[in-house]
Amino acid sequence: MTDRRQFLKAFVLGASASMLAWGGKLAAGPLNRSGKLVAGPAPRTPATAAVRVVSTWDFGVAANRAAWTILGKGGHALDAVELGVQVPESDLKNHSVGKGGYPDRDGHVTLDASIMDADGSCGAVAALEHIEHPISVARRVMERTPHVLLVGEGALQFALEQGFKKQDLLTPEAEQAWHEWLKTAKYNPSINSEVHDYGKGGSTGMPGGVNNHDTIGMLALDAHGKLAGACTTSGMAWKMRGRVGDSPIIGAGLYVDGEVGGATSTGVGEEVIRNAGSFLVVELMRQGRSPHEACKEAVMRIVKKRREASKTLQVGFLAMNRDGEVGAYAIQHGFSYAVCDAKKQDALIPSQSVYTTSYS
């Protein structure tokens, strides 16, 4: 994650021009569709320029690239988001998503993931162990069961029945970090990396510079005008066994409504669940807010309720409306999101935030 930090720094310094370019688009104003939604979505043919994929954090750049191999050829958003988020799920250097993720406090790597299509179809898994691509199991839940969410042993059983391979997800590096944490075993699940951890080790006992909670949330709009979203994580490092965050909870870590747009979140999942965060963002867009405004309002709801605590916790929302307009907002400085479309493949954009300077 030190790489992530350096990469992010480079972009923060160098990306002001691209941010301004994007900012121009984002500042285009709220959607105006009053009346149209009452009568149902207006028929539309999306412009090629609107075909777009966005995702959280710097590892979203590589994930977007993978998604673009499908979107760029006119493929479906649902296939794109599944393929895209598989990239960090397989990245052993990424300690917050998929294989290589940091384990819970008992040493088990447990994964949460959800996927959602424009028509409201969705699937999710929570506390799933031994499967490298929880996002693909979530998709099977959506497509091959009448259910939305499978958890723990049952989710694993289903995955194995579906032909997924059982494997050990705890890498030597993650195991070593866990052993480091065990030396103090301080249980402090509400910390966040932007506040405490970079370069310090932080109150979690993370190795210096290591980030303890970066989920990938991805939203895509395809050439057919359809939206889809995916969200996948190993959750908070050293969490209690059985702890599930927002990422597999439809309406919390992810929500998509093809008539309006989609939203996804990263950060302290408990705060997102308490506020039905991604659902809130989408509903605010339905009421006419731009993606940026909707994300900001959802963040402010959390901050208002948790004014003191919000100084030291991180939540970030990322949203895209059905026209491909993108917005984000976070509590803490340091959240970034990646954008990829026909014009720009590797944009990484620093999000605006409530607190504009690092906490110290």
Stretch that binds ligand SD4, among 17-25, 31-39, 263-271, 324-332 (CB under 6 A): 263-271
Q: Tokens in use for 91?
A: 């990245």
**Using the 8-state DSSP alphabet, how is residue 243 labeled?**
-
- Minimum distance of ligand SD4 from residue 82's CB (angstroms): 19
Q: For residue 256, list its beta bridge partners.
A: 262
Interaction between residue 114 and ligand SD4 (CB under 6 A) = no
- Minimum distance of ligand SD4 from residue 215's CB (angstroms): 4
Interaction between residue 246 and ligand SD4 (CB under 6 A) = yes
H-only helix segments in the chain:
2-14, 16-26, 60-71, 77-90, 134-144, 152-161, 172-182, 269-274, 277-286, 291-305
By the 8 A CB rule, do 234 and 132 touch?
A: no
Q: HSE of 202 in the Cβ direction (CA atoms, 13 Å)?
A: 26
- Minimum distance of ligand SD4 from residue 268's CB (angstroms): 6
Which residue out of 171, 215, 233, 264 is catalytically annotated?
215
Contacts of ligand SD4 in 269-308 (CB under 6 A)? 269
Interaction between residue 233 and ligand SD4 (CB under 6 A) = yes
Q: Tell me how far the alpha carbon of residue 91 is from its chain's centroid.
A: 16
Contacts of ligand SD4 in 213-232 (CB under 6 A)? 213-215
Stretch that binds ligand SD4, among 33-41, 80-88, 134-142, 261-269 (CB under 6 A): 261-269
**Angstrom distance (rounded) from CA 101 to CA 133:** 12
**Angstrom distance (rounded) from CA 247 to CA 216:** 9
Q: Tokens in use for 88?
A: 């960090």
Interaction between residue 60 and ligand SD4 (CB under 6 A) = no
- Minimum distance of ligand SD4 from residue 286's CB (angstroms): 24
By the 8 A CB rule, do 319 and 263 touch?
A: yes
Q: HSE of 36 in the Cβ direction (CA atoms, 13 Å)?
A: 13
Query: Cβ closer to ligand SD4: 37 or 148?
Result: 148
Interaction between residue 236 and ligand SD4 (CB under 6 A) = yes
Interaction between residue 267 and ligand SD4 (CB under 6 A) = yes
CA distances from 157 to 14, 126, 154, 283, 339 (A): 47, 13, 5, 35, 36
Q: How many residues bind ligand SD4 (CB under 6 A)?
A: 13
Q: Sheet containing 149-151: which strands, arranged edge to edge? A: 149-151, 122-128, 111-117, 227-233, 216-221, 52-56, 336-341, 347-350
Q: Give the one residue of 55, 94, 110, 247 binding ligand SD4; rule: CB under 6 A.
A: 247
Query: Cβ closer to ligand SD4: 8 or 70?
Result: 8
Cβ burial, residue 22 (10 Å; 0-12/13-18/19+): middle
Query: Cβ closer to ligand SD4: 86 or 247?
Result: 247
- Minimum distance of ligand SD4 from residue 217's CB (angstroms): 9
- Minimum distance of ligand SD4 from residue 171's CB (angstroms): 18
- Minimum distance of ligand SD4 from residue 209's CB (angstroms): 16
Q: Give the one residue of 84, 101, 245, 291 binding ligand SD4; rule: CB under 6 A.
A: 245
Contacts of ligand SD4 in 181-220 (CB under 6 A)? 213-215
Question: Is 215 designated active site?
Answer: yes
Three-state SS at 347: strand
Query: Cβ closer to ligand SD4: 253 or 327?
Result: 253
Interaction between residue 130 and ligand SD4 (CB under 6 A) = no
Stretch that binds ligand SD4, among 4-12, 80-88, 168-176, 239-247 (CB under 6 A): 239-247
Stretch that binds ligand SD4, among 73-81, 146-154, 155-163, 240-248 (CB under 6 A): 240-248
CA distances from 207 to 63, 180, 197, 268, 294 (A): 25, 8, 9, 20, 35
Binding positions for ligand SD4, rule: CB under 6 A: 213-215, 233, 235-236, 245-247, 266-269
Write out the catalytic residue numbers.
215
